[in-house]
Amino acid sequence: MGLPLGEAFREFRTNRNISLRQAAGDIVTKSFLSKFERGQSAISADKLWALLARLNVTPAEFQYRVMGHARLPSDDFFVRLNQAVGNNRQNIAQADRLIAEAEARYAQSGLPTDRIDAIAARASKDTITDTVLPAEEINYVLDYLFETEEWLSYEVNVIDEILIFVSYGTRLQIAQSLIKHGGDFASASHNQEQVGNTLLNILALMIRDRRFADAQSLFGLLANNDMIQSSLFNALNFQTLRSADWFLTGRQEAAWDALHWAAATLHHLGQDEMGAAFVHQWHLLTHQAVDYAAVAAESKEK
């Protein structure tokens, strides 16, 4: 169950043992804040954000409490989609239900994002069933994306689903636009990770298609964005750690594939020093000898 705004604020305040007078500061009066907490007074957004800042609570954390620790509907849709057909899962029936759900919403609302939800779900399903997504639907999504001034979490979720179906040139354009449009958005830690993972997927497709010069060019664009660059390295480090876990729990083939992919990605990005450090970390965890130079040479030959 969600909470009224005032009640949610009071929970945060009392959990931190902050008095009404301390919380109010010079933003509002103690009396006004008391009435707000009891649901007897409305408050402007700018004053609410200022009060939250005094409690060291982010607007996102406050919203999460107000919504009863539930995800936003759009976030929930993509979480359910990932649970159905993400990471090689093949719950086609659930994907079909999500497509039907989004189409029903679109029939009622006429909102472009509801139609895009249906297309994104169909794209995710088509990736599993090896079906080609109609060009009309791809273009509808791309038109929406490139007419949108600022890409936020929703747009990045959509990009992840259609990425495999767009042309190489469009992927490069998406990467460039993601860096441009997602700059402020990526400053939040979770958003930074989301943008970084999407760019990493684009880099992986470039490497798969042997577009090494373009991959290095994209990395050059990221050189001036420390937050996104850091997120890319964190994602690759995570992949290396997950590979070690897989190796130690009996999934040797998947482990080697993941390790080689992480090492090859760093090699093609010209980050051999970091790649060698990640491989050495893997060696310390698994007690298996790995020659990073050999991995890099092997990836170059493939």
CA distance 198 to 275: 20
Residues 43 and 160 in one domain: no
Handedness of CA 207, 211, 215, 216 (dihedral sign): positive
CA distance 157 to 152: 9
Q: Which of 66, 93, 117 is the last residue of a domain?
A: 66
Residues 115 and 61 in one domain: no
Q: Which of 19, 48, 66 is the last residue of a domain?
A: 66
Residues 235 and 217 in one domain: no
CA distance 2 to 69: 8
Domain span including residue 222: 73-227
Residues 180 and 130 in one domain: yes
Give the total number of structural domains in the chain: 3
Residues 235 and 93 in one domain: no
Residues 26 and 44 in one domain: yes
- Encode the chain (302 residues) as per-residue pLDDT tens digits: 456 899 999 999 999 899 999 999 999 999 999 999 999 999 999 999 999 999 999 887 888 788 765 566 677 888 889 888 876 678 889 989 999 999 999 999 999 999 999 999 999 998 888 888 999 999 999 999 998 877 888 898 999 999 989 988 898 889 888 877 555 555 554 566 777 778 878 877 887 787 877 877 777 777 666 666 676 777 788 888 888 888 898 888 888 888 888 888 787 777 788 888 888 888 888 888 888 877 766 655 44
Q: Which of 192, 227, 262 is the last residue of a domain?
A: 227
Residues 131 and 157 in one domain: yes
Q: Which residue has the tokens 């040797």?
A: 252
* Tokens found for residue 235: 């994602």
Residues 277 and 184 in one domain: no
* Other CB atoms within 10 Å distance of the CB of residue 203: 24
pTM of the predicted protein model: 0.66
Residues 112 and 219 in one domain: yes
Residues 222 and 136 in one domain: yes
Tell me the CATH number at 52: 1.10.260.40
Angle at CA of residue 75, ends 69 and 76, nearest 5°: 70
Own/partner contacts of 286-292, CB < 8 Å, gap of 24 or more, are 286/244, 286/247, 286/248, 288/247, 290/259, 292/263
CA atoms within 13 A on the CB side of 92: 6
- pLDDT (0 to 100) of residue 112: 93
Residues 51 and 156 in one domain: no
* Tokens found for residue 229: 């660059």
Residues 223 and 233 in one domain: no
* Other CB atoms within 10 Å distance of the CB of residue 38: 12
Asked if 161 and 207 count as a contact pair (C-beta separation under 8 A), the reply is no
State the amino acid at position 173 in one-letter form. Q
